[in-house]
Chain A
Amino acid sequence: MRRLVRLGVVVLALAALVPCVSAQAPPVFRSAIESVYVDVFVSRGGQPIPGLQASSFELKDNGVRQAVELVAAESMPLSAVLVFDTSSSVIGGRLAALKAAGDAFLRGLRPADEVALVGFSEEIAWLAPATADKAAVRRALDRLEPTGATAAFDALYAAVALSEEGGRSLIVLFTDGEDNMSFLGEKQLLTAVQRSNALVHTVGWRESGRTESVAGRINEAELSEEDQTRALRQIAEATGGRFWGADLPERLQRAFAEIADAMSHRYVLRYEPQGVKRDGWHRIELKLRGQKGDLQARHGYWVAPLLR
């Protein structure tokens, strides 16, 4: 993926005064002058709440209240990656629905936003490199050909790892079956996304009354949706994103359109951590002041120790 030289949104250092740092995860806390960015979606009854100010938010970093300011989200182009399941279970109507959903997502982006397309079955491939040319990505979408098994976790890991070069990263994973080919496990992937600066949304396709399992083969045990989507939900929510379930083409399309649309309704908070230890996991607690609403934001961020 092309290197993106712009501000990261979720967590990003503003300066790099210390020359030798661990390169683990996003480049956070490189010096005493550091900033953390938190990408937040605020809604009530499913509708975004507009017009909030910095004073509308109360944020604690490892239990210590921080002074936050609002950054104009619209000034930051997105770096989006669509990670699409192209295994053989997508053959037919699902593929058409997925292409339409991808197109709906592209229509929701702004001209300066960049987007890449990753396809995965048992292999993982860049089908379109990061580009602001949406037509090029549409052409790649049109060429999707389902085949093989499902390596969703490995593909999502690749997208996360390659999107860590800065920028306001958004990753949208679509899969219609259970992962049966990844080397990395749920725990490893969860840790990787927690320590990245990407906002991850996961979209699962479930036909009512039928679930898939055993190397993507049909599982007649009809396990609960909780079993099937737990990992995808957990991974998305850890980054401030969410899991979207779809069982009809129009719902799939709507989910992708809403994901793109929500990016322009999100708030980006910035703060310089005060009164907290630098290294390790930082738990973020975020609340609204003076009004009710649902908040979606990452639960924390990771700062790798400096290499001595």
Chain B
Amino acid sequence: MSTPAGRRPIVVVAVGAGLLAIASPAVPAGVNAEYRELVARYARGERALAIAGVARFSDSELGRIAQTVEAAALAAERSKAAERVKDREQGKETTEPPLPLRAAVMLHLDLDAAQRPPAGGTEQPRRCPGKQAEIAARYASVLAWHEETRSFARRFFVALANNCQWDACLLEAQRWAREGLKLFPRDAELLLSVGSTIEESATTWAGGSVVENPALAPRFREAARAAALERAAQFRQAQYRFEEALASDDGLTLARVRRGRVLWRLGDREAAQATLEKAIERAADPPLSYLAHLFLGRVHEDSGRLDQAIEHYRLSLGLEPGAQAAAALSHALRRTGETEEAREVLRRALGHAGQRAHRDPYWDYLVGNALHFREQLAALRQESLQ
């Protein structure tokens, strides 16, 4: 997994002030006029031209622009701070800076995407968002200061984290969701994003063995135990993030399903069962019901309640005739001695392969909330046009 080089923490105050300075008539000396013009052209819909233009700037040049803006804007922000407090007290709305900051955000994010070659497929390597995404995030942080653009900024961090998760850049996904949380501390979507990237990381981590192998050399056994402990710690972290997300938005059923799943992974079957049962009660759409039944079936199966497991697997398979639910039901049936039905379930499922109208929600579970990042970015891009 590649890591963008040259990262620095986002200095929200400095950046925010800097871009406000750009917005003001007194543009600080050193901010490239061509750059400002390119941002304006992006905002007018000349995307390709603007992206190609900014791509000609070196990283160091863009860094210098940002630094200059930050320094000048911080001073401007200080002088305006008192006035702004007064406006707020009087109930006056703050105005969005005249410079198209939303366009600047999306311009840099688009440039970042343009500089990364597309992956060859699901299991092919890809590059993670890098320096241009960093600049986009700095601009978005400024937008978070203004009531009118707060929503844009929040959705930007959600979309960027989702984009990273989709590209398997799990550390980057966590980082951007956490950066978003600094600005929007109890945002349920961002909390869900952090939790799900941690969950994905723990679930797909190669070092996390679940089968004890007595044939392993002692040093490997120790490593396996350490990996299992590390993985458990990750699941616990994910559980806490899902709980925080639910505290912010009790109707976020996906967070409830995920909480149930990680509780099961942690071996807390009673809590997992209660959580998943509540998720089933509240799940409004079939994909979430499907997942909740599937996971609840597994909790029952692991607890030795095969009849209840089979019941939930059947409900799950009834909602989505996928291979994983079929494997789950078949396996449980086989355990109860119903081998002929176990085979029949598999035959039917394998017969459906390739004929589905939509993807099995189980396939998308691990990246569930990252699925829609393209639509999220498209909406932000549209909003960035003037």
Contacts and interface: CB of A to CB of B under 8 A. Distances in A.
A186 B206 CA distance: 13
Contact of B211 (A122, A158, A187): A187
Interface stretch (B58-66, B73-81, B197-205): B197-205
Interface string B116-142: 000011111110000000000000000
B265 to A, nearest CB: 11
A214 B201 contact: yes
A109 to B, nearest CB: 23
A21 B255 CA distance: 44
Contacts of B343: 161-162, 164-165
B337 A149 contact: no
A125 interface: yes
B342 A123 contact: no
B291 to A, nearest CB: 11
B349 interface: yes
B170 interface: yes
B331 A217 contact: no
Interface string A197-232: 000000000000001111111111101101110110
A217 B123 contact: yes
A115 to B, nearest CB: 16
Contacts of B334: 24-25, 161, 192
B125 A218 contact: yes
Interface in B344-366: 346-347, 349-351, 353-354, 356, 360, 362-363, 366
Interface of B: 1, 120-126, 168, 170, 200-201, 204-207, 209-211, 213, 216, 220, 294, 298, 322-325, 327-328, 330-331, 334-335, 337-340, 342-343, 346-347, 349-351, 353-354, 356, 360, 362-363, 366-367
A181 B360 CA distance: 11
Contacts of A165: 343
A23 B328 contact: no
Nearest to B366: A215
A148 B338 CA distance: 32
A177 B204 CA distance: 12
16 contacts: A23-B339, A87-B123, A88-B121, A123-B322, A124-B323, A125-B354, A147-B122, A151-B323, A158-B350, A161-B339, A162-B347, A187-B211, A192-B334, A213-B206, A215-B204, A220-B1
Contact of B353 (A124, A211, A221, A227): A124
Contacts of A190: 211
Nearest to A150: B123
Quick one: which of A87, A150, A213 has the most chain B CB within 10 A? A213
Contact of A183 (B120, B209, B294): B294
Quick one: which of A147, A217, A218, A220 has the most chain B CB within 10 A? A217
A149 B1 contact: no
A188 B204 contact: no
B121 A91 contact: yes
Given A164-B339, A186-B211, 10 more contacts: A23-B338, A122-B323, A158-B330, A158-B346, A161-B346, A165-B343, A184-B331, A211-B206, A215-B168, A234-B211
B353 A183 contact: no
Interface of A: 1, 22-25, 87-89, 91, 118, 122-126, 146-151, 154, 157-158, 161-162, 164-165, 177-178, 180-188, 190, 192, 211-221, 223-224, 226-228, 230-231, 234, 304, 307
Contacts of A126: 350-351, 353
Contact of A88 (B124, B216, B220, B340): B124
Contacts of A24: 334-335, 337, 339
Contacts of B338: 23
A26 to B, nearest CB: 9
A223 B331 contact: no
Nearest to B298: A183
B210 A185 contact: yes
B350 to A, nearest CB: 5
A91 B124 contact: yes
Contacts of A220: 1
A89 B342 CA distance: 30
A216 B121 CA distance: 10
Given A124-B323, A147-B121, A214 B168 contact: yes
A178 to B, nearest CB: 6
B42 to A, nearest CB: 32
A125 B349 CA distance: 8
Contact of B327 (A146, A148, A149, A157): A157
